[in-house]
Amino acid sequence: MAADPRKFIRDSASALGFDVCRFASASEPWSAGERLAHFVGAGRHGDMSWMETTLERRAHPTTMWAEAKTAIVLGLNYGPGHDPLPEMADRSAGYISVYARGDDYHDVIKGRLKTLAGQVAARTGEDVKVFVDTAPLMEKPLAQRAGVGWQGKHTNLLSRTRGNWLFLGVILSAAEFEPDPAEGEHCGACTTCLDVCPTQAFPAPFQLDARRCLSYLTIEFAGPWPVEFRGATGSRIYGCDDCLAVCPWNKFAVASQESRVQAREALVSPRLADLAGLDDAAFRALFAKSPVKRIGRDRFVRNVLYAIGNSGDSGLIGAARALLDEPAPVVRGAAVWALSRLMDGTAFAALRAERLAAEADASVQAEWTGAAL
Ligand code: B12
Ligand code: SF4
Ligand code: SF4
């Protein structure tokens, strides 16, 4: 009997540091494309306009690459080895989500995917294409089809044997491989992730409205946030882990062995006062090789100011005041909001009297007058 050609690929994936490597058909039809169209049609993608422009290509692997026959789905465990949510009890510190505490996972995974893809191409003589979140491919439904896990009610892919902390990457191959069995859904009657969400971002189980998700707001959304979400963010300054961290299937999660995704000490409970004082150069240095760098200093400092506004720590008033003269209106506006929460009413009114007349930007004026929505 001929050896299973998948074994070589699995062994090589494991040697490259991947924790999971499974195979799925890339050509069979699915309903994920229609669900994506529903998501975008309802406007749930918010300002992520690339989701609109790539909608047709994202509908199915073969609409992007007609020759695709097999999806080789890779998973990399980034489990922290503990429940990170209690860290948020320290309101004078910021919370950076677990996935962003080490090196950018795109950089960690991409090179390895390319190496593996090269081996697959050499072995099969067929073309390959590599994906890690950077091109329009729906990775979670492919991972479910390959049996890596299932999309839970929070819409992330989780696994019976590994819990919720898994990065995904995909290689499409024009070669046919025998598919692994797909995974079924094992959420049952549980609604823990839906109930914990601080912004009620789930319009229904298995559906997310990204516009309400703190991960979207802290990372993808550039402007001043709608006021209703600012208090809910608490100390979350980059991403959000709540719906992942509370899932009971995490009892099977294990700590990641991958050195490049291990948390850097400086990115666990960093002091808000220090973060508010970062200029562009210091921001870039602190977040070198981290995904946080991608959002830029101004958006990050905006997030820090919302967290300062939620801190209840009057010792942070000086840090927020120091940002009232920033060039970016989004930073000035967030500083005003933070001060409105931390200063007593009389002192804030006096500051407003001093500052409002000199403020030229309408969005920042609205923060001073309390008219911001
Ligand atoms: C856009 C995006 C986001 C957006 C939107 C998230 C989302 N859930 O769609 C935002 C910015 C909010 C986001 C946040 C996060 N993200 Co993100 N994100 C993506 C990205 C680039 C595309 C996802 C996508 O296509 N979304 C569109 C929606 C429509 O797709 P979907 O969730 O698969 O939709 C399914 C369900 O809604 C369901 N559905 C819809 N209606 C119905 C109805 C019924 C009855 C049923 C049963 C199902 C159902 O079917 C749809 C198709 O399968 C992927 C990478 C990729 N290329 O796939 C990473 C990815 C999903 N993100 C990832 C991560 C880690 C996160 C965060 C955990 C980061 C953080 N800690 O802050 C959060 C999690 C938030 C959450 N609860 O989802 C990982 C997830 C890994 C995993 N194990 O699942 C991915 C795969 C990146 C990667 N390569 O590892 N992300
Ligand atoms: S990441 Fe946070 S805000 Fe987004 S859906 Fe999950 S719990 Fe809600
Ligand atoms: S918390 Fe419960 S409902 Fe949510 S993904 Fe985990 S098992 Fe499913």
Task: Return the domain boundaries, the chain.
Answer: 5-265, 271-373
pLDDT tens digits, one per residue of 50-88: 999 999 999 999 999 999 999 999 999 999 999 999 999
Q: What pTM was computed for the model?
A: 0.97
- Residue 133 near ligand 1, beta carbon < 6 Å: yes
C-beta of residue 104 within 8 angstroms of C-beta of residue 146: no
Band (5; pLDDT cuts 50, 70, 90):
confident
Whether the pLDDT of residue 2 is over 70: the answer is no
Kindly report which listed range (111-120, 125-134, 140-149, 311-320) carries the lowest average pLDDT score.
125-134
Residue 172 has phi, psi (to 5 degrees) of: -95, 135
pLDDT tens digits, one per residue of 190-207: 999 999 999 999 999 999
pLDDT mean over 97-117:
96
Residue 1: the pLDDT is 54
- Residue 187 near ligand 3, beta carbon < 6 Å: yes
Length of the chain: 373
**What percentage of the chain carries pLDDT values higher than 90?**
96
C-beta of residue 248 within 8 angstroms of C-beta of residue 104: no
Residue 136: the pLDDT is 76
* Six-digit token string for 343: 């200063």
pLDDT tens digits, one per residue of 209-252: 999 999 999 999 999 999 999 999 999 999 999 999 999 999 99
Which residue, by CA, sits nearest to atom 5 of ligand 3? Answer: 152
Ligand of minimum distance to the alpha carbon of 247? 3
Residues designated catalytic? 133
CA-atom Rg of the chain in angstroms: 23
Whether the pLDDT of residue 301 is over 90: the answer is yes
> What's the CA-to-centroid distance between 198 and ligand 2, angstroms?
7
36, 134, 167, 188 from 54: Cα distances, Å: 11, 12, 22, 33
Inter-axis angle of helices 362-369 and 345-355, to 10 degrees? 150
Q: What gap in Å lies between CA 164 and CA 252, rounded to an integer?
A: 9
> What's the CA-to-centroid distance between 166 and ligand 1, angstroms?
12
Residue 134: the pLDDT is 66
pLDDT tens digits, one per residue of 335-344: 999 999 999 9
Place of tokens 């195979």: 23
| Residue to mutate (ligand 3; options 155, 156, 157, 158; most atoms within 8 A of CB) | 158
Band (373; pLDDT cuts 50, 70, 90):
confident
Residue 3: the pLDDT is 82
Band (371; pLDDT cuts 50, 70, 90):
confident
Residue type, 43: G
